[in-house]
Amino acid sequence: MEIQLKYKPGFAMALVTLNEGEKIRAEGGAMVGISTNINMVTEKASRGGILRSLKAAFLGGENFWMNVFSSTDGKAEIKLAPTLPGDIIECDLNNGTLYAQSTCFLAADSSIDIDTKFQGLKGFFSGESLFFLKLSGTGKLLLSSYGGIEKISVQGSFLVDTGHIVAFDNTLNYQIIKFGGWKSFFFGGEGLVARFTGNGNLYIQSRSVPEFGRWLRDALPPKKE
């Protein structure tokens, strides 16, 4: 499998070249175009059975079904892109585990397992999802962002606004904490952040989907009664 990332960083698209027999699973609606020698089937999001697929769908925010693309004759191409404008990064998992926001998952080698990680009530109070996607195994993984993506090598600790998290290594621990005083919490727009500790890679996005949603809501004219 070969992956070429085009039109970075603002409007990225992934051009994936599959050899015969290779498969890639993609988020629903991510396909831009395919060559005629590609076969597509729709399968459960998780390889771990119906219950784990339901958990990934309803708890992790991931679609219950994903589209699986494979080459039927020699090399074949598929173009993939996320819904929101932004960047795409390629990660190579080598029998490892990466946690990602469900909205940042774009596609993965069919050998990678998709499960969920419960955040507990800290996810509720942070205003984000209660669950992260747990991506494990060996193979290529494509993550997308709203805005640009920055990779941070955490050595010790690092703070990041919860709406800007894309993904992080399983070697990192995190907790949701209040940032600043109570005035900042209620009026400063910087109330809760994630504190990552340990050694590993953290991926963040330069824009926040929740903040954009709030801006759009405030910018729209009020509904007429």
Q: Return all residues near 181 (Cβ < 8 A) that are at least 6 apart.
A: none
Read off the DSSP letter of residue 103.
G
List the structure tokens of 125. 């109070």
195-220 pLDDT, tens per residue? Answer: 999 999 999 999 887 777 777 777 87
Alpha-carbon torsion, ordered 129, 134, 140, 141, to 10 deg: 0
In three-state secondary structure terms, 22 is coil
For the chain, the structural domain boundaries read 2-219
150-191 pLDDT, tens per residue? Answer: 999 999 999 998 889 999 999 999 888 876 554 444 444 456
List the structure tokens of 24. 């890639």
Separation of alpha carbons 4 and 79, rounded Å: 10
In three-state secondary structure terms, 73 is coil
pTM: 0.80
Q: Of the CATH numbers 3.40.190.10, 3.30.450.20, 3.60.160.10, 3.40.367.20, which one belongs to the domain with range 2-219?
A: 3.60.160.10
